[in-house]
Every structure is written in C-alpha cells, then in structure tokens.
Structure 1
Amino acid sequence: MRHLQTLLAVVYAGSIYVFIFLPVAVLVLFSFQDGTLPVPPLHGVTLRWYEAIFADRDLMAALGNSLIVALISSAVACLLGFLAAYAFARYRLPASGLQRALIVAPMTVSTLIIGLGLLSLFNRLNMPLSLWTIGIGHVVINLPLCFAIIYASMGGHQVNIERAARDLGAPDWKVMALVTAPMLMPSILAAFFLSVTFSWDEFIVAFLLSRFDVTLPVEIWSMLRSGLDPRTNAIGSVVFLVSVLFLLVMELAVFRKKPGNPT
C-alpha cells in the first residue's frame, strides 16, 4: 500500500512538472527549427533565428528597455515599500489598517484597470507616454508586493536592536539605513528580484503606457500580429533564460545559507 502511495505521489508530481514546463520545452525546442514556421515536425536544427534576433535592432532596443524599466522600477518600488513598511511597523499612524489596505489594494485590481487609470491620468497631465510612464506603472503594480514582503518580515526582535542603536546616539535615519535595512536585506532582495521578474515580462501596462519606446513583450506582440515567426520562439527562449538567471541570482543572494550558519 505504501509503495502504491509513493508511486501515485511520484506520478502526480511528475504530471505537475510536465504541465508547467512542457510549453517552455516546446518553445525552446522549436526555436532551433530549420524552417519558416515554428511548428512540428522539426526540420533540422539551426541557430539562425537566434542570430536574427540579436541582429534585430528593434528587438535589442526593446530588450534593453525592458531591463532598464525592470531594474529601476523595482528599485523604486522596494525603496517605497521599505519606507512604508518601516512607518507602519514602528509608528502609530491614524487609520493604519485602512492605509495598509489601500497600499496592497492594487494587488487585487486588474492590471488592465490600473493601466487605463494611469493612461487617463497621464493624458490629463499632458505627460507624454515613454519609458518613464511605463516605469511609473510598474512601480504602482509592484509596490504592494514589496510592501507586503518587507512588512511581514519586520518582527519585534528588531525593535530591541534599533533601540540599542538609538541609546548609543544614532539618529532615526541612521538606525533605519544602517541597522533596520541590513537586518531586512533578505526580504528586500527577495522583493526586488520578484519585482524584476514581474516587470520583465509585464505586457498590459507596458502596452497602454508606451508609444515609441516599447518594452520586449510589446515588441513581441507586434511581431505576432503578422503571424507565426520562428524568431518569436527564439526571443521567448531568451526571455525564459533571463528569468531563470534572475531566479538563480535571487537563490544565491537571498535563500542560500552562508557557511557556518545554523540550519
């Protein structure tokens, strides 16, 4: 009976992994298709589609735009999320429960609604659509996530360390920057890398708030409008590779235990 349960658990787990990773495997496989259509059957193996995307200036420009927007917007979202989490955890603010609910509210709202609202706001302010407006939109959708992760990690044991730093003469801003932030660095880095991952492949807000300078998902969408193209599989594989690299960096920087630390 136990062997049957183990077998069923293995089959179940294997089915989940196949369901998750099979589309990615097919995408990567047919990015090497030596044909004009990225569909079965596989007609030989070639790298020409990767050569084509790296030679495409528009794609490379969109790739660079995505990296810039993801890194800068995630850094701003983490900074604002940390400041908000510190304020709510260390001070008594009026209607703090309501204010916290308002901060995390965008997590429950469709990105389409957020994008349309920001588009209307920018039009009312006569602000031209650009990478800046995309970055603002990504800050809006990533700030609640950063706040929730950092706020959840602020425990009572840190208060005593902060109080000791104040007793030694450190002003509040030094306590926050040199004591609290280093203690919360794993949570801050986790929030940052998750925000980068979400911003990296976000489409709806980037589509609504862009004009001439577009991010990679918007550029891929414009390519798909003309039909199937093997280059889309190649650039999709590159996006997947970059996402995996972000996750590996997060694993090494945040979750990996340092030698000598207790398990």
Structure 2
Amino acid sequence: MRALPWLYLAAAFVFIYLPVGALVLFSFQGGALPVPPFDGPSLRWYGEILADRDLTSALGHSLAVAFGSSAVAVTLGFLAAYGLARHVLPGATLVRGLLIAPLTVSYLIVGLGLLIVLTRLGAPLSLMTAGIGHVVINLPLAFAIVYASMGAQQQNAERAARDLGASEAKVILLVTVPMLAPALAAAFFLSVTLSWDEFIIAFLLTRFDVTLPVEIWSMLRSGLSPRLNAIGSLVFLVSVTVVLILELLVFRKRP
C-alpha cells in the first residue's frame, strides 16, 4: 500500500511529460517525418529553423511582445495594488472585482473585443496591438500577485520612512518596491511565460509581423515536420528556463 502513492505520482508525471518527451526526442529525427522509428540523433532541423529568417523574426517578435507587455502589465498592476491597498477609496471592492474579472474571460472573447474596438478606432493591427492585448490579459494576474503580497510589514516600513521625512515617491521607490521585489519578479516572469506562447490574441491582433505561435500555426497547415518539433523544443526550453529562474531567484528560501 505504501507504494501506491508513488505509483500514482509516477503515472501522473508520465502522463504529463510523455508528450513533451516525444516532442523533444523526435526533434532530433534525421528523417523527414517526426514519427517512429527514430532516425538520429541529428541537429539538422535545429540548424534549419535557426537559419529560417521568418522563424527567427517571429521569435524576436514574441520576445519583444512578451517582455514589453509584461513590463507594462506589472507596472500598472503594482500601481493599482498600491492605490487600493494603501488608500481608502470609494467602491474599492468593485474596482478590485473589475481588475480581476478578465481572468474569468476567454482569450477569444478578449481578442475579439479588442479587434472590434481597434477596428472602430482605425488602429492598424501590429505587434503593438498584440502587446496591448497581452497587457489586458496579464494585468489582472500581476495585480492579484502584488496585491496579495502587500501586508502590514510593508505598511509599517512605509510609515517609518514617512516619519523620517521621505517623500511619497521615495517611499515607493526605496521601500515598497524593494520589499515587493519577489512578488514583482514572480508577476513579471509569469506574465512573460503566458505572453510568450499565447496564440489567440496574437493571431487576431497582428497582420504582417507575427509572433512565434502564429508562425508555428501557419507551418502546421502544411503538415507535421521535425522542424515543428525543434521549434516546440526550443519554446519548452525557454519556458523551463523561466521557471528555473523563478525558483532560483524568487522562490528559493534564503537562510
């Protein structure tokens, strides 16, 4: 009976990681089809995707949108959390609910709504509009993480700084932000991860300059290829790297 929990845990990990393992394995396939039998290992497909200008351009677009939108979302989320946590405002409960509400809305609905608004405004679809969409979906997450981390300890330190003559701007920059650095970093990296592989909003709000998920989708229309496995493996590597950075720099327990 003691082995049953371990068997269940092993089965769960196999269920979760077996598709990823197959993806990575057949990204080293030497043949033209990503199916058994395995013919490799070979770095042929990694070389091809790194030499593909469309893919490398889409990769750069994804990184720019992910980091840019995440920085804006975390900044706005922090300012909203600070205002609602440190000041008594009329309708604060309603405002918090409205800030969290987009978490419950489908990305498809958000993307279609933004597409309608931008079309009515005459704004051309571009990476900028995709970034706006990613700010909309990441702002509630950033707000929730930062707001949950703003406790009495930070508030007492802020009061002490004000008593010593610090201005409000210095209190925020020199006291509040450093004390909330782990929460801000967690919100930023999670936003980057979500934006990095988001497809629906990026597909609806871009036209000529597309992100990597949209480029992958266009490649899928012509059938399966080991190139797709190689791209997927690189995306997985980036996601794992972000998680490891979070674990080492943010969530690691300090002695």
TM-score by length of 2: 0.98
1:129 alignment partner, SS class: coil
Secondary structure (helix, strand or coil) at the match of 1:255 reads coil
Determine which of 121, 132, 138 is the counterpart of 2:134: 138
* 2-structure distance, mates of 1:99, 1:128: 31
| Displacement over 2 Å in runs of 4+ | none
Match of residue 162 from structure 1: 158
> Map of 1:106-255 to 2, 5 A cutoff?
106-255=102-251
The CA deviation at 1:32 is 0.9
Please provide the CA RMSD for this pair: 0.8
Counterpart position of 1:47: 43
Count of residue pairs the alignment pairs up = 255
Separation in structure 2 between the aligned mates of residue 10 and residue 128 of structure 1, nearest angstrom: 54
Give 3-state SS (helix, strand or coil) of 2:250's partner: helix
| Other structure's SS at 1:8 match | helix
Aligned-residue offset at 1:43: 2.3
Q: CA deviation at 1:45?
A: 2.2
Which of 87, 94, 105 is equivalent to 2:101? 105
CA distance, structure 1, for counterparts of residue 32 and residue 153 of structure 2: 61
Which amino acid is 1:135 matched to? G
Residues 120-173 of structure 1: CA distance to partner in whole angstroms, max 9, x if unpaired?
111011111111001000000000000000000110122111111001111112
Q: In 1, Cα distance between the equivalents of 2:103 and 2:124? A: 26
Aligned to 2:22: 26
User: Which one-letter code corresponds to 2:117 in the other structure?
Assistant: L
Could you report, residue by residue, the CA deviation over 1:50-72 in whole angstroms, capped at 9, with x for unpaired residues? Answer: 00000000000000111111111
Task: Provide the rounded CA distance (Å) in 2 between the counterparts of 1:148 and 1:43.
Answer: 47
2:39, 2:148 → 1: CA distance? 52
Deviation at 1:250, TM superposition (A): 1.3
Rounded Cα–Cα distance in structure 2 between residues aligned with 1:178 and 1:204: 39
CA distance in 1, matches of 2:153, 2:217: 49
Once the two structures are TM-superposed, the CA of residue 44 in structure 1 deviates from its matched residue by 2.9
What is the CA–CA distance in structure 1 between the aligned matches of 2:153 and 2:23, rounded to whole Å?
A: 48
Letter in 1 for 2:132: I
* CA distance in 2 between partners of 1:20 and 1:146 (Å): 27
Specify the code of the residue in structure 1 equivalent to 2:142.
C
Helix, strand or coil for the counterpart of 1:42? coil
Query: By how many angstroms is 1:255 displaced?
Result: 1.2
- Normalising by structure 1, we get a TM-score of 0.95
In the aligned structure 2, how far is the partner of 1:173 from the partner of 1:93? Answer: 20
Secondary structure of residue in 2 paired with 1:249:
helix
Gaps of 5+ in 2: none
Residue 12 of structure 1 deviates from its aligned partner by 0.6
